[in-house]
Amino acid sequence: MRRTALLALAMVFLVVAWLWDALVAIGRTIASFVPWARFKQAFARLVDRLPAPLVLLIFLVPFLIVEPLLVVATVAIAMGYVVSGAISWIVLKFLAVALIPAIFDLTKHRLMTMPWFVRAYEKVTVFHDYADQIVAPYKQAATAVLRRWRMRAATVTRRVPGLAHLAARFAARKRAANGRPAMPSNG
């Protein structure tokens, strides 16, 4: 029972960490499209000038705003305003999950000047690595199952006339969307 609970906790932690990494990348991409280069430079200069505790406050502001509003959205759901409460909850959660990693990415270098924050960050990183070790065998097993399913799908695709050509076209489009050159078709 303890191992199952630990595995579930590790998987939840890793999913949040993977989302965090993905959202940091998305935040960087979105930030690169923002035409406010001077604003971004000014924010970076501000972060560099501010003392680390104030930078920590900047990092925590989205959390301090969103968490109480999540409670309000949950109360709205409990009081019968299910649709508006659920939509509010989802939007708020999305904002928190999108903003906090992006702000952390912009403020990390200043936050890491506080020794207690460095220790906390290192503990989270150690737990992340530990969670990776716990989940790794299950991840490998899931990858193997997915590989077998793909092989079965490829076998079925080859047996059905015209389906192989359609699958090849789909794979070529997928490769092209990922920035890789499309494979030449033989037909």
- What pLDDT sits at residue 31? 67
* CB-CB contact of 67 with 111 (8 Å): no
Q: Tell me: pLDDT of 35 over 70.
A: no
CA neighbours closer than 13 Å in the CB half-sphere of residue 105: 18
Residues 6+ apart with CB under 8 A from 19: 97
Please indicate, yes or no, whether the overall pTM of this predicted structure exceeds 0.75: no
Q: Of 179, 183, 145, 181, which is closest to residue 167 (Cα–Cα)?
A: 183
* CB-CB contact of 107 with 59 (8 Å): yes
Q: Tell me: pLDDT of 74 over 50.
A: yes
**Mean per-residue pLDDT for 74-89?**
92
Q: CA of 138: how far to CAs of 22, 69, 141, 148, 177, in Å? A: 21, 36, 5, 15, 29
- What pLDDT sits at residue 187? 47
The 10s digit of each residue's pLDDT in 92-128 is 887 887 778 778 888 888 999 999 999 999 999 998 8
Q: Where are the alpha helices (DSSP H) in 79-162?
A: 82-111, 115-159
Q: What is the amino acid identity at position 6?
A: L
Residues 6+ apart with CB under 8 A from 110: 47, 48, 50, 52, 55
- What pLDDT sits at residue 156? 77
